[in-house]
């Protein structure tokens, strides 16, 4: 009996001394480390009010003079007559620093874009293309969900991977199959379905591990949603993320071109 109680005591001691799961309060440090790398993506036009229009979120990669975001965030055309240009907003608060930017590389299939920015490098985030992402895993994403009317203030949200699912849901009627959907049906890829709510301004936000800050996905509020929910008369509030493996491949192309 004494031996049994000793074994039970040893088990209880082991359980009590085991490191606890990451608590919400423990997110503060990793968020503080991540936020400096988060930038706003938009356009600047001096004669417009307000002159800066925030279109989405991005984050520093490679040498810090490159920013990763969603391709749909980048305007197809700029108003050259009124000297509108692409800009990246660095820092936070009421007066973020504005940097001229240009599209450097893109991956239309996965709705990814890399911008080249002027000026000093920004902090970068590490990608985790080999990370094992499982349904039920908890992650964070940081971005600018509601714009920058009063300044640039990044917000962080927590989300669970609700499902890992193909980007395309076959439509019930042929009339719902537009050319873009048909192309994606030929070569669908998996995306992360999240239980957290993201807004259009979150497009391009990093989805990252709360323990390490390493990026596992890129929030996509428009491109994926329009594809997966094209057959729904009442689109859902579900959010999605593009797996970071596709972003890693795009960055590798840039590295190879520079060598």
pLDDT by 10s per residue, the chain, length 259? 444 554 544 444 444 444 445 555 589 999 999 999 999 999 999 999 889 999 999 999 999 999 999 999 999 999 999 999 999 999 988 888 999 999 999 999 999 999 999 999 999 999 999 889 999 999 999 999 887 666 789 999 999 999 999 886 554 444 555 565 556 556 678 999 999 888 889 999 999 999 999 999 999 976 655 544 444 444 456 789 999 999 999 999 999 998 7
Report pLDDT digits (tens) over 156-193.
999 999 999 988 655 444 455 556 555 655 667 899 99
Whether the domain at 35-117 and the domain at 138-258 fall into the same CATH topology: yes
For domain 138-258, the question of CATH label 3.40.50.880 is answered with no
51 near 145, Cβ under 8 Å?
Answer: no
Which residue reads 């929030």 in tokens?
219
CA trace torsion 73, 79, 84, 88 (10° rounding) = 10
Q: Where exactly are the structural domains of the chain?
A: 35-117, 138-258
User: What CATH code would you report for 35-117?
Assistant: 2.40.10.10
């Amino acid at each position: 009996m004494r031996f049994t109680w000793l074994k039970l005591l040893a088990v209880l001691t082991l359980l009590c001394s085991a490191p606890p799961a990451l608590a919400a309060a423990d997110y503060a440090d990793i968020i503080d480390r991540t936020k400096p790398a988060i930038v706003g993506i938009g356009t600047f036009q001096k004669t417009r009010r307000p002159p800066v229009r925030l279109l989405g979120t991005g984050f520093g990669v490679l040498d810090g003079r490159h920013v990763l975001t969603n391709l749909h965030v980048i305007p197809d055309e700029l108003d050259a007559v009124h000297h509108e240009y692409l800009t990246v907003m660095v820092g936070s608060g009421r007066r973020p620093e504005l940097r001229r930017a240009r599209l450097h590389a893109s991956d239309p299939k996965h709705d990814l874009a890399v911008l080249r920015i002027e000026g000093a490098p920004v902090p970068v985030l590490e990608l985790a293309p080999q990370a094992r992402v499982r349904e039920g895993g908890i992650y964070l994403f940081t971005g600018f969900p509601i714009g920058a009317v009063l300044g640039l203030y990044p917000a962080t949200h927590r989300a669970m991977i609700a499902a890992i699912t193909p980007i395309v849901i076959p439509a019930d009627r042929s009339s719902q199959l537009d050319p873009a959907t048909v192309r994606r049906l030929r070569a669908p890829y998996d995306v992360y379905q999240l239980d957290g709510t993201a807004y259009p301004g979150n497009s391009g936000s990093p989805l990252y591990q709360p323990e390490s800050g390493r990026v596992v996905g890129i929030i996509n509020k428009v491109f994926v949603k329009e594809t997966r929910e094209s057959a729904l008369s009442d689109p859902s509030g579900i959010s999605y993320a593009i797996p970071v493996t596709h972003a890693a491949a795009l960055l590798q192309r840039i590295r190879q071109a520079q060598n």
